[in-house]
């Protein structure tokens, strides 16, 4: 079964509003095994509406339309549907009853324009709206069964659940096809390299397709399993995920798409270890991300955002001579910061960043995009220097923070680095 989705309304057409309804409907249809082939949006324009309804009527088996069911003059969905199907509008008695009851129950006065909402194309099946005044309807146009729903997300969701999905899956048996998805998050390889390492994976596991998505600074691997309800699609996803994990090794953060802060948090909690952070160029972002995770107070003790050199010295106890000799952005300074914050907080791990997020502050030797990351534990301390060149302060902060958490993650996974 091929499905299409149509969103109507001037706000969506003109970009004043982002259309999140269509993605929601697509997800729900795909989960039910109905393949969505296309989304379209047009404004409140009779000619455009009739044209697109007729096109979809030729192409698809079923379609979900949102918007245009309200009481005002620019709500054109019922009239456009009637025109596209070549039928008249007529007052639907049960629709009128439901609208009247809606206003009665809310003790609100029903206006004449609300009566317009009961005018439906002849031959329509009424779709009740239990939480709003606009009833929906279903109508055949061309070879396609259309479901017209309100644009208000809460009403659309409720009616999709109550009316549309049950009708579409009513005749579906165990043989109906569906699509399950899974997301793996990765960090440390550019998108092209991830793609190359994963070349041919889809052929290994029949019925599974693979897609990549850059969710800066992570690259997500999306797995899609298409098949019938009685096939073991979860198994196919498990198999494909195992192949991806093998090819990418420790570059895979999570087989469930979890973000870095959650992965690091789980490792710390499992190892019963505590963390303190000293942030310079990342400005609090590492701490903010770590504390987005519920329960983070169990392992995250303290962070010092030491933007000024004075605070690196006064709070973290960094030797002024270290900064004088090497500069604030240097492995030696990063090491002293990591050791300092670990000591102050009495934590098992001390993690530090010092670098240049830009746009200003760079030098030829240490351009914007340079970061030094330090990690201290009872076993000692080490530091790494990394270079990025994203041309944006925000992106630099994000990739610095991610890299620092990644160094901690890899060390928690593999132990203290050799030599």
Shortest distance, position 329 Cβ to its own copies, whole Å = 13
Nearer to its own copies, 18 or 170 (CB): 18
Shortest distance, position 170 Cβ to its own copies, whole Å = 22
Q: Checking DSSP bridges between strand 35-42 and strand 380-387, what pairing results, if any?
A: unpaired
First to last CA, the chain: 60
Nearer to its own copies, 213 or 379 (CB): 213
Beta-carbon count within 10 A of 164 CB: 24
3-state secondary structure at position 224: strand
Shortest distance, position 128 Cβ to its own copies, whole Å = 14
Q: How far apart are CA 159 and CA 156, in angstroms?
A: 5
Shortest distance, position 3 Cβ to its own copies, whole Å = 11
Q: Checking DSSP bridges between strand 218-228 and strand 35-42, what pairing results, if any?
A: unpaired
Residue 296 phi/psi, 5° resolution? -65, -20
Nearer to its own copies, 47 or 414 (CB): 47
Structure-token pair, residue 149:
């729903």
Shortest distance, position 304 Cβ to its own copies, whole Å = 6
12 burial via Cβ count (<10 Å: 0-12, 13-18, 19+) = buried
Q: Do 226 and 177 meet the contact criterion of CB atoms below 8 Å apart?
A: yes
3-state secondary structure at position 45: coil
Nearer to its own copies, 87 or 269 (CB): 269
Shortest distance, position 406 Cβ to its own copies, whole Å = 17
Structure-token pair, residue 215:
């969710």
Q: How far apart are CA 331 and CA 333, in angstroms?
A: 5
Q: Checking DSSP bridges between strand 380-387 and strand 370-377, what pairing results, if any?
A: antiparallel
Nearer to its own copies, 24 or 125 (CB): 24
Shortest distance, position 324 Cβ to its own copies, whole Å = 19
List CB contacts of 188: < 8 A, sequence separation 6 or more: 251, 406
H/E element, 149: strand 144-149
Nearer to its own copies, 196 or 270 (CB): 196
Nearer to its own copies, 88 or 256 (CB): 256
Structure-token pair, residue 216:
């800066």
H/E element, 8: strand 2-8
Structure-token pair, residue 95:
């629709």
Shortest distance, position 415 Cβ to its own copies, whole Å = 26
From 220, 251, 252, 260, select the one nearest 400 (Cα to Cα): 260
Shortest distance, position 303 Cβ to its own copies, whole Å = 4
Q: Do 222 and 254 meet the contact criterion of CB atoms below 8 Å apart?
A: no
Nearer to its own copies, 48 or 125 (CB): 48
Shortest distance, position 363 Cβ to its own copies, whole Å = 15
Nearer to its own copies, 113 or 414 (CB): 113
CA atoms within 13 A on the CB side of 141: 33
Distances (CA, A) of 358 to 149, 289, 383, 394: 49, 21, 21, 9
Shortest distance, position 275 Cβ to its own copies, whole Å = 10
Nearer to its own copies, 87 or 348 (CB): 348
3-state secondary structure at position 392: coil
Nearer to its own copies, 125 or 395 (CB): 395
């Amino acid at each position: 079964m091929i499905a299409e989705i149509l969103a109507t309304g001037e706000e969506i057409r003109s970009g004043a509003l982002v259309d999140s309804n269509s993605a929601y409907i697509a997800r729900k249809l795909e989960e039910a095994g109905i393949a969505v082939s296309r989304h379209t949006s047009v404004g409140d324009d009779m000619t455009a509406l009739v044209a697109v309804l007729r096109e979809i009527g030729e192409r698809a088996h079923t379609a979900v339309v949102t918007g245009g069911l309200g009481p005002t003059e620019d709500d054109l969905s019922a009239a456009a549907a009637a025109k596209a199907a070549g039928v008249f509008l007529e007052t639907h008695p049960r629709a009128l009853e439901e609208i009247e009851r809606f206003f009665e129950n809310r003790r609100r006065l029903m206006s004449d324009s609300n009566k317009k909402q009961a005018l439906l194309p002849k031959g329509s099946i009424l779709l009740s709206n239990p939480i709003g005044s606009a009833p929906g309807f279903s109508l055949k146009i061309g070879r396609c069964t259309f479901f017209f729903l309100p644009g208000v997300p809460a009403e659309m969701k409720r009616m999709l659940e109550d009316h549309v999905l049950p009708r579409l899956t009513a005749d579906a048996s165990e043989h109906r096809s569906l699509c399950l998805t899974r997301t793996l998050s990765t960090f440390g390889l550019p998108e092209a390299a991830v793609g190359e390492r994963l070349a041919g994976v889809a052929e290994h596991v029949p019925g599974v397709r693979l897609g990549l998505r850059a969710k800066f600074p992570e690259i997500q691997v999306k797995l899609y399993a298409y098949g019938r309800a009685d096939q073991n699609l979860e198994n196919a996803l498990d198999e494909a995920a195992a192949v991806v994990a093998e090819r990418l090794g420790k570059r895979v953060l999570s087989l469930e798409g979890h973000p870095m802060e959650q992965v690091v948090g789980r490792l710390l909690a499992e190892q019963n270890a505590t963390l303190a952070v000293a942030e310079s160029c990342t400005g609090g972002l590492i701490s903010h991300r770590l504390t987005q995770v519920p329960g983070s107070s169990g392992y995250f003790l303290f962070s010092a955002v030491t933007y000024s050199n004075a605070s690196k010295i006064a709070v973290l106890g960094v030797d002024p001579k270290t900064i004088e000799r090497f500069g604030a952005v240097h492995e030696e300074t990063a090491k002293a910061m990591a050791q300092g914050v670990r000591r102050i907080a009495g934590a098992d791990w001390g993690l530090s960043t010092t670098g240049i997020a830009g746009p200003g502050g760079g030098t030829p030797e240490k351009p914007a995009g340079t970061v030094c990351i330090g990690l201290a534990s009872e076993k000692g301390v080490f530091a790494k220097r990394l270079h990025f060149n994203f041309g944006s302060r925000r992106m630099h902060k994000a990739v610095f923070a991610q890299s620092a958490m990644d160094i901690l993650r890899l060390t928690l996974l593999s132990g203290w680095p050799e030599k």
